[in-house]
């Protein structure tokens, strides 16, 4: 995992994010602080061209509309055609049928390198009923079977985010107990993790390793940031600094793998 983060900083992969408007700025700053190069292009006319150029592509469904859905479709198709990994963040899949159908359509069009979501989203993506908007009403461990099922179906890694993160490729299972409760009080921390996963898939072919390294980076940085924070405002700022400062060696030491 330390090697993945070291490679991220050395190679500064271009990460094309088709993400939601709420978290775009925070996501870009997280990627920059971690060493990657974010690019965000939403037009159907251009999303495919940028996907072919990118090291990794993120598709986050948060504020998808009829304008951006076609851009997501072409980005996924072109990424796959060019051998670029893509990552799905199925925000609010479950209670909202339109995006749930879109998520399945994208997954069927080209298998992703990884899927990152909360437990409710992963359960819903595997056929469950889902949570309340962007909130998870289930614990990550409860989504392990669903995560494994998705991972085997698409040959991808699945990261279930929560107080304890659970990640699997359908065979191996990793649990990470790093993190801090303030992460849940800052918008875009989960979405930024999806972007970091996409960044890490650009530097390693092992998608489970990529998702685990990204999760470890964000959650250990969160622990460091919390020591300098008075609340969610200062925490969000300190988190960017902490991502920038965290060395691969310190990350490796701080990981709480279960």
193 binds its own copies (CB under 8 A): no
106/228 Cα distance (integer angstroms): 40
The helix or strand, by DSSP H or E, that contains position 192, with its residue range, turns out to be helix 189-201
Q: Binding mask 224-253 vs its own copies (x if CB under 8 A, - otherwise)? A: ------xxxxx-xxxxxxx-xx--------
53 is known to lie in a ligand binding site: no
Stretch that binds its own copies, among 1-9, 21-29, 77-85, 153-161 (CB under 8 A): 21-29
96 binds its own copies (CB under 8 A): yes
- 24 touches its own copies (CB under 8 A): yes
The verdict on whether residue 11 carries a ligand-binding annotation is no
Q: What tokens were used for 38?
A: 């974010």
- Nearest-angstrom CA–CA distance, 36 and 55: 10
CA separation, residue 199 to residues 3, 133, 137 (Å): 14, 26, 28
Print the SS3 string covering 88-149: EECCCCCCCHHHHHHHHHHHHHCCCCEEEEEHHHHHHHCCCCCCECCECCCCHHHHHHHHHH
Q: How far is the CB of 134 from its own copies (least distance, A)?
A: 6
Span of 33-41, 111-119, 121-129, 138-146 interacting with its own copies by CB under 8 A: 33-41
* Known binding-site residue numbers for ATP: 116, 161
Interface residues toward its own copies, by CB under 8 A: 14, 16, 20-26, 28-29, 32-33, 37-46, 49-50, 53-54, 62-68, 71, 92, 95-99, 132-135, 184-188, 230-234, 236-242, 244-245
């Amino acid at each position: 995992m330390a090697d993945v983060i070291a490679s991220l900083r050395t190679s500064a992969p271009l990460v094309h994010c088709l993400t939601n408007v709420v978290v775009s700025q925070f996501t870009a700053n997280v990627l920059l602080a971690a060493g990657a190069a974010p690019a965000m292009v939403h037009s159907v006319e251009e999303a495919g061209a940028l996907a072919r150029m990118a090291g990794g592509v993120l598709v986050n469904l948060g504020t998808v509309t009829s304008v951006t859905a076609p851009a997501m479709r072409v980005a996924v198709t072109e990424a796959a055609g060019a051998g670029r990994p893509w990552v799905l963040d199925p925000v609010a899949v479950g209670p909202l049928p339109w995006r749930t159908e879109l998520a399945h359509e994208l997954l069927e069009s080209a298998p992703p390198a990884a899927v990152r979501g909360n437990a409710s989203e992963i359960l819903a993506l595997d056929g469950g009923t889902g949570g309340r908007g962007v909130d998870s009403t289930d614990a990550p461990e409860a989504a392990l079977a669903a995560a494994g099922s998705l991972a085997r179906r698409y040959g991808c890694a699945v990261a279930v985010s929560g107080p304890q993160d659970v990640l699997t490729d359908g065979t191996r299972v990793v649990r990470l107990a790093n993190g801090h409760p303030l992460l849940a009080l800052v918008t875009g921390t989960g979405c930024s993790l999806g972007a970091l996963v996409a960044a890490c898939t650009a530097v390693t072919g092992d998608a489970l390793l990529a998702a685990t390294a990204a999760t470890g980076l964000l959650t250990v940085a969160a622990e460091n940031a919390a020591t300098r924070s008075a609340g969610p405002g200062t925490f969000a700022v300190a988190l960017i600094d902490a991502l920038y400062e965290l060395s691969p060696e310190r990350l490796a030491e701080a990981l709480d793998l279960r």
